[in-house]
Amino acid sequence: MRILVTIASVVSLILCLGAMAFLAVGKNQIAFAFLIIGLVIMIINMFFSRRINKPR
């Protein structure tokens, strides 16, 4: 489960960096879609990582 959280973190980081690249080129709608998808993955990832790291 921990490896899935790591993979999701990397994917969301790549999507957000891709969004910045598309913003620099001027393709705003693609950048906005990448940013929304990256942020949704980050929010889901926070809940999963909180469940994994919960003290017992």
Q: Which residues constitute the domain of residue 36?
A: 1-51
For 2-19, what is each residue's pLDDT tens digit? 888 889 889 998 998 999
Assigned domain for 34 exists: yes
Rounded distance, CA 50 to CA 33, Å? 26
Assigned domain for 40 exists: yes
Q: What is the pLDDT of residue 5?
A: 84
Assigned domain for 32 exists: yes
Tell me what percent of the residues of the chain surpass a pLDDT of 90. 34
Assigned domain for 14 exists: yes
DSSP for the chain, please give it: -HHHHHHHHHHHHHHHHHHHHHHHHT-HHHHHHHHHHHHHHHHHHHHHHHHHS---
Q: What is the pLDDT of residue 52?
A: 75
Assigned domain for 56 exists: no
Number of domains within the chain: 1
Task: Please report which confidence band the pLDDT of residue 56 belongs to, taking 50, 70 and 90 as the band edges.
Answer: low
Assigned domain for 39 exists: yes
